[in-house]
């Protein structure tokens, strides 16, 4: 007995078709028929394939299963036109996008409908995915972060499987001509601008077929897609009123969002120090002086004050050098109590006059142009509560690219990847939401800092930034890692790095034991194993800051 066709199915699976290998097309259709959730329709739009067997195969399946519909175009209109024909024919509550050579796992729709049933206001869902080779072997699983609007600006990370509320797809105008190659990215940007809720289903439910000419095999296979993608992101930024320019990123399919910071915004950079010096690349340097010099040299923003909170034993010559470098931008704040990083930052903020606050260790060196603008400008979005930078050790390997909290610990994922590596799925070269960032270089709006209570002075050395990140998240705001804001961090040059168990337990007692990170699944949160053997065991747990 053949399945009944529902007048209003839960899902309309829309598949534009043009000249796929017939055996591959059959496998695609069979993966839909095999779904254990049966309330669907499959709309296959043949875009005037040159191989006459293609529409014949689809028609044969449609005869056997009334849930399958063949729409035949009489001219080849390309991917956007064919996809819009599918949208027009859709009767389902949700549209699921399936390419003509890809595969759904048998329980894909079941898992998606379970998520919909948990959230009746969801307008967009996406799942994890992997690739499938010619021999049927799957590989390259992409375990995606939870909803990350900043990352979507830097790459079309949600991709497969995308499920969108049909009424909203039509409301935003469906797919748009001129965005071929990035038509899905453009549509999802427009849908999520209006979506009430976006849900990530954290399971591989879609197999992306890796065939010759596919971006699954070669990300540069469709060079026109990058131009369309940049335009899609730029128009998205313009619609939201974000003052930024979209451009090409470190590799095809990745984009850079170059933000502008209003010249009317005053920024206060707060640096705690004891004025130590250290040998860096064979030269003795006064760390805080070089930090201040580099931060001012690498920004075009004029309205910057530098609040230096210094211990009473700081050498007078260091303060003289700071005045020579910073001039009237320097705010000199003496501190005569025992070391407490959190207290020093809080005291510095109380002496600061800026609407935007940057926390900076004294053992850093800025190396990217317009670092301050890139770090601070995302805070113009009201729901961004905290931003953080990308930090390197002196040997050009990554020290920090966002925190991840999982497996009962607080981690620096991607530690020891090299500066020229993009990381798995572009993690190291796109701005993205993260669970936390290090206070060695981070920024907040002044009012948010006071709303969440600043840094906890009960955590003087370590995990104070972890606690701050939890507080920002509890306030309902996003934390954003800014890949284009780069600094060297000569970690532990100013104080001995020593982590106490009571510090970790203090955070756990307040926020609970971290299990899985929402933005950096442990499957991709891997350090560069080539250097692991060279380091002490506790280096992976150290997350706080110990600047003097």
| Distance separating the N- and C-terminal Cα atoms of the chain | 76
Pairing type for strands 94-97 and 11-17 reads parallel
Retrieve residue 353's tokens. Answer: 């006059």
Which of 176-185, 474-483, 522-531, 534-543 bottoms out in mean pLDDT, i.e. has the lowest? 534-543
Read off the pTM.
Answer: 0.92
pLDDT at site 541: 39
Tokens 């560069």 belong to: 528
DSSP 8-state assignment for residue 303: -
Are the C-beta atoms of 390 and 428 separated by less than 8 Å?
yes
pLDDT at site 526: 63
DSSP 8-state assignment for residue 287: H
Digit-coded pLDDT (tens) for 266-310 = 999 999 999 998 988 888 899 999 999 999 999 999 999 999 999
Three-state secondary structure call for residue 93? coil
* % pLDDT > 90, the chain: 86
**473 against 210, higher pLDDT:** 473
What are the φ and ψ backbone dihedral angles of 3, each rounded to 5 degrees? -65, 150
pLDDT at site 161: 97
Q: Which helix (H) or strand (E) holds 281?
A: none
pLDDT at site 328: 97
Digit-coded pLDDT (tens) for 115-172 = 999 999 999 999 999 999 988 899 999 999 999 999 999 999 999 999 999 999 999 9
Q: State the sign of the Cα–Cα–Cα–Cα dihedral 150, 152, 153, 155.
A: positive
What are the φ and ψ backbone dihedral angles of 15, each rounded to 5 degrees? -135, 105
Query: Residue 498, Cα to own-chain centre: how many angstroms?
Result: 30
- Round to whole Å and give the CA distance between 213 and 105: 23
Retrieve residue 481's tokens. Answer: 């890692």
Give the number of other Cβ atoms within 10 Å of residue 78's Cβ. Answer: 14
Q: Which helix (H) or strand (E) holds 488?
A: strand 478-489
Scored b (16 or more CB within 10 A) or e, 47-57 reads: bbbeeeebbeb
- Round to whole Å and give the CA distance between 172 and 187: 8
Nearest to 155 by CA among 428, 539, 486: 428
Digit-coded pLDDT (tens) for 440-466 = 999 999 999 999 999 999 999 999 999
Mean pLDDT, range 424-442, rounded to an integer: 97
DSSP 8-state assignment for residue 328: G
Digit-coded pLDDT (tens) for 96-110 = 999 999 999 999 999
Q: State the sign of the Cα–Cα–Cα–Cα dihedral 497, 498, 503, 504.
A: positive
Supply the angle between the helices 501-511 and 464-474 in degrees, to the nearest 10: 10
Are the C-beta atoms of 391 and 399 separated by less than 8 Å?
yes
Domains contained in the chain, CATH given: 11-243 (3.90.550.10), 267-540 (3.90.550.10)
Pairing type for strands 304-311 and 330-335 reads parallel
421 Cβ contact list (under 8 Å, min separation 6)? 428
The residues facing 403 across adjacent strands are: 436
Query: Residue 345, Cα to own-chain centre: how many angstroms?
Result: 27
Retrieve residue 185's tokens. Answer: 């990215």
Three-state secondary structure call for residue 234? helix
Digit-coded pLDDT (tens) for 520-535 = 987 676 655 555 444 4
């Amino acid at each position: 007995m053949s399945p009944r066709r529902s007048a209003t199915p839960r899902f309309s699976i829309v598949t534009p078709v043009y000249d796929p290998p017939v055996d591959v097309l059959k496998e695609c259709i069979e993966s839909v028929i095999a779904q254990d959730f049966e309330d669907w329709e499959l709309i296959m739009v043949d875009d005037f394939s040159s191989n006459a067997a293609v529409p014949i195969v689809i028609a044969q399946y449609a005869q056997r299963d009334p849930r399958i519909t063949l729409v035949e175009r009489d001219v080849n209109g390309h991917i956007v036109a064919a996809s819009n024909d599918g949208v027009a024919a859709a009767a389902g509550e949700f549209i699921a996008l399936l390419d003509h050579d890809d595969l759904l796992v048998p329980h894909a729709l079941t898992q998606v409908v379970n998520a919909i049933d948990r959230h009746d206001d969801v307008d967009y869902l996406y799942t994890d995915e992997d690739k499938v080779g010619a021999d049927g072997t799957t590989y390259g699983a992409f375990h995606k972060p939870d909803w990350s609007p900043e990352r979507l600006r830097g790459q079309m990370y949600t991709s497969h499987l995308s499920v969108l509320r049909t009424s909203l797809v039509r409301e935003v105008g469906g797919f748009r001509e001129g965005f071929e190659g990035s038509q899905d990215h453009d549509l999802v940007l427009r849908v999520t601008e209006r979506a009430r809720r976006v849900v990530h289903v954290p399971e591989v439910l879609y197999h992306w077929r890796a065939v010759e000419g596919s971006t699954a095999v070669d990300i540069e296979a469709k060079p026109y897609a990058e131009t369309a993608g940049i335009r899609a992101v730029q128009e998205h930024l313009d619609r939201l009123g974000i003052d930024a320019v979209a451009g090409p990123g470190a590799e095809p399919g990745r984009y850079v969002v170059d933000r502008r910071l209003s010249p009317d915004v005053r920024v206060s950079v707060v640096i705690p120090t004891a004025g130590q010096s250290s040998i860096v690349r064979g030269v003795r340097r006064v760390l805080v002086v070089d930090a201040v010099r580099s931060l001012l040299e690498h920004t075009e923003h004029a309205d910057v004050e530098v609040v230096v909170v210094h211990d009473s034993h700081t050498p007078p010559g260091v303060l003289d050098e700071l005045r020579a470098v910073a001039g009237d931008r320097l705010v000199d704040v003496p501190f005569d109590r025992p070391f407490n990083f959190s207290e020093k930052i809080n005291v510095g903020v109380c002496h600061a006059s800026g609407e935007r606050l940057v926390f900076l260790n004294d053992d850093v060196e800025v190396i990217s142009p317009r670092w301050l603008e890139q770090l601070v400008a995302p805070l113009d979005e009201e729901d961004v509560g905290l931003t953080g930078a990308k930090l390197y050790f002196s040997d050009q390997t990554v020290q920090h690219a966002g925190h991840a909290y999982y497996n009962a610990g607080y981690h620096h994922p991607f530690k020891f990847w090299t500066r020229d590596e993009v990381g798995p799925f572009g993690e190291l070269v796109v701005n993205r939401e993260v669970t936390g960032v290090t206070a060695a270089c981070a920024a907040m709006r002044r009012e948010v800092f006071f709303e969440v209570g600043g840094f906890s002075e009960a955590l003087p050395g370590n995990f104070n930034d972890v606690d701050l990140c939890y507080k920002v998240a509890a306030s309902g705001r996003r934390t954003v890692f800014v890949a284009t804001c780069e600094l060297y961090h000569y970690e532990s040059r100013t104080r001995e790095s020593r982590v106490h168990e009571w510090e970790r337990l203090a955070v756990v007692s307040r926020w609970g034991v971290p299990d899985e990170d929402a933005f950096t699944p442990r499957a991709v949160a891997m350090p560069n194993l080539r250097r692991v053997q060279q380091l002490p065991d506790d280096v992976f747990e150290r997350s706080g800051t110990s600047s003097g």
